[in-house]
Amino acid sequence: MNISVLGSGRWASFLAWYADKTGHAVTLWGRPGSRSLEDLRKTRRNAYVELPESVTLTDDIRKALTFGDAILVAVGAQQLRTLLTSLPECPSVPLVLCMKGLEESTGLRLSQVTEQCLGNVPVAVWVGPGHPQDFVGGIPNCMVIDSKDAALTRMLADGLNSSLIRFYYGEDLIGTETGAAAKNVVGLAAGMLDGLSASCLKGVLMARGAREISRLAAKMGGRELTIYGICHLGDYQATLFSPYSHNRRCGECVITGEAFHELAEGVATARSLMRLSETYGVDLPICAAVNDVFEHGREPKDALSGLFLRSTKSEFYL
């Protein structure tokens, strides 16, 4: 395929590297004046990947929109609407959303934001575990592609599959997007546990996190079982344990007092999930505790203690 990548940061540059490595023709777009794009133009590398000369770099959005058979979008979740509404023309090929989050101001899933902005353009999502540092080092993983169109899902998954990333076909776009976004919030809680030297509680956090998000997904019209798959529970190792996880590290820095300057999507997602909790009438205690810390300045130890010292109840109702 001819593939365009919109974005020039950590994940976008990896996507360009991966698509080229798997035999596709690749154009990577960054906004005019982007420091990350300029660095790639000068050296063909950043802290994560080295891009071969076969990857075209451009700040011409029209060129990126008309080049490909598919467009991979990898910008911050909260910047998606701004990007889409600024496009000079509506894409005529599928958009694959390669980020995990919910729109903070509306609680919408990113595919819904895309549909609002662009109408009936085919949309898919690419989510699941994995960090560029691991992939570039040859460490394989499994990911999932999902959309409303089963044929589109299969075309993309089959076309992007390799020995480095094994793709699965998603069959529940609501559950896949919600689970992928919410795992970052659980990652923030895991990082706080690390900072408090309470990592032993991560097992309980994992069990309870998956349970509360599965209830939400079901209320939203998705499937509970999806949350126990690759999009959420299957991404816990990369998000709750990996030293490369921005969300885990952000949570840890809240405890240690260290400065953290990277993007942690879970912070905005926690706010979105509070909106969904109210809309659908679903109790989300882990998400609420994380939001209390980041949004309302609650003492992290008190917020987390409230999670694990609640009144006795059936395990089924974790």
CA 146 to chain centre: 13
Catalytic residue, candidates 21, 183, 301, 313: 183
Residue among 131, 132, 158 nearest 145 (CA): 158
183 is catalytic: yes
Helices 285-296 & 266-280 angle (0-180, nearest 10):
130
Residue environment code for 133-159, b if the CB has 16+ CB neighbours within 10 A, otherwise e: bbbbeeeebebbbbbeeeebbebbbeb
Residue type, 105: S
Q: What's the number of CA atoms in the CB half-sphere (13 Å) around residue 149?
A: 13
Identify the three-state secondary structure at position 289: helix
Query: Could you list the active site residues?
Result: 183
